[in-house]
Amino acid sequence: MVRCELRVIYGDTDQMGVVYYANYLRWFEAGRTEFLRAKGLSYGEFEARENLTLPVSEAGVTYLRPSRYDDLVGIETSLVQARRASARFEYAIRRGEDLLATGFTVHACVDRAGRIRRLPEDFLAGIKAGENVG
């Protein structure tokens, strides 16, 4: 599990003063980026070197408590499954000890033409390092 933090900006909120629901997916992306960085991997370098991308093929969010402007939130990201051509990440969004939301994203590995490809072994080994992966 890798944790990063961010401060909620005013533009992340809706007219009711709470974080707009779709922004949690952006936070998942921020958490996933920091997860890869913590593993010594760069998504940009992966794309350039392997000529592959990892688009989201499935996503889900469960909202438990609202987050508001200026909250400091922690994004906890874990890799929970890595298969030949896909990976599943799970997320927990917290404000202090309060759990605000949980969710997941599943990513397919595809080439530039959109064809499913295997995840490269070195990339798989890197993202699995230190994780409890099924």
Of 10, 37, 28, give the one whose Cα is nearest residue 93: 28
Summarize pLDDT for 72-90 with one digit per residue, the tens.
Answer: 999 999 999 999 999 999 9
For residue 79, count CB atoms less than 10 angstroms from its CB and return exposed for 0-12, middle for 13-18, buried for 19 or more.
buried
Kindly list the domain boundaries of the chain, sorted by start residue.
Answer: 2-128
Q: Please state the CATH superfamily assignment of the domain spanning residues 2-128 in this structure.
A: Hotdog Thioesterase (3.10.129.10)
pTM for the whole structure: 0.94
Summarize pLDDT for 37-62 with one digit per residue, the tens.
Answer: 999 998 999 999 999 999 999 999 99
